[in-house]
Amino acid sequence: MEKKVLVATVKPFASQAVEEIKSICSKKGYELILMEKYPEQNDLVKAVKNVDALIVRSDKVTSEVIENSVELKVVVRAGAGYDNLDCDAASRKNIICMNTPGQNSNAVAELAFGMMLYMARSKFNGKSGSELKGKTIGIHAYGNVGLNIARIAKGFGMKVIAFDPYVDNAKMVADGVIPVSNVEELYQKSDYVSLHLPSIPATQKFVNYKLIKTLKKDATIINTARKEVVCEDSLIEILTERSDLKYASDIAPVKAEEMVEKFGDQVYFTPKKMGAQTLEANVNAGVAAIKQIIAYFEKGDTKFQVNK
């Protein structure tokens, strides 16, 4: 029987990405159901009922969504972080969860540099700023985005250091990156710290008072990862104590409004999470998602499964 694939995106893909997903589906004889900018979480709960596969971005695939599905066999998070999927609920129903690692990482890395320049150049307000050349960037977690950060940073003439206990130092060295031996050292030596930690139980509020406090004078933290990895109260405390530090994030903190009012030019938050919001990233991640679904249905391919 014809497979039904639901693409549910509160924040839609670029239309070219949708067209490409549609065309791949129609060549395979799959039915594509597109649900963009849906206003209520309940819309997803209802829409998932009779579909075989689901593609989402940061949309919340809760246990309620999973429980309400009847035919669902595979969920693909078109992106890297899958903290929006209730993988345990999916596993209980033998539903495969996947992500599409690496497909949007250049877009996220480029945005991080946009934010770095914005902060370095006094938010483009005409006042004198500083340059990235000659500065040290500390990459906190060296995954797909981290390695793109390293590549671009070298073009800016930055010194690149990184900390990731799960990545071999040899890999970093091969990329021209200097591995540091502990996370404290990363913060102590960096003019810019770029965060790329996944949001998992072990990383909640990982960037805490003790760590932020060790930052060099005039340092900036750039967060294109998740707000949960930073302890917001610590951040507020330290920004109050140290007017030389800056924080820019693609994921607004809970107390964003209060922070903007209190810290002005020390902070910047994008109006909407937009790291992966490029045509290229949307096409890469969207096409990868549908191809992974087809590979799963046709060959049982579970290479990108995250709920093993």
The residues of the shown chain that bind ligand 3PG, judged by CB under 6 A, are: 11, 57-58, 79-81, 104, 273, 275-277
**Closer CB to ligand 3PG, 179 or 275, in the complex:** 275
> Min. distance of Cβ 281 from ligand 3PG in angstroms?
8
**Closer CB to ligand 3PG, 79 or 179, in the complex:** 79
Q: Could you tell me how many helices (H) and strands (E) the chain has, helices first?
A: 12, 12
Tokens describing residue 234: 């610590």
CA gap 308, 301 in Å, rounded: 13
Q: Going by C-beta distance under 8 Å and a sequence separation of 6 or more, which residues neighbour residue 155?
A: none
Overall size of the chain counted in residues: 308
| Cβ atoms of residues 255 and 232 within 8 Å | yes
In order of 110, 139, 174, 177, the CA distances from 151 in angstroms are 10, 11, 12, 9
**Closer CB to ligand 3PG, 129 or 198, in the complex:** 198
> Min. distance of Cβ 101 from ligand 3PG in angstroms?
9
H helical segments located in 85-125: 87-92, 105-120
> Min. distance of Cβ 285 from ligand 3PG in angstroms?
7
Tell me, what amino acid is at 207?
A: V
**Closer CB to ligand 3PG, 17 or 158, in the complex:** 17
> Min. distance of Cβ 58 from ligand 3PG in angstroms?
3
> Min. distance of Cβ 76 from ligand 3PG in angstroms?
12
**Closer CB to ligand 3PG, 140 or 273, in the complex:** 273
Residue number of the CB atom closest to ligand 3PG: 79
| Cβ atoms of residues 226 and 249 within 8 Å | no
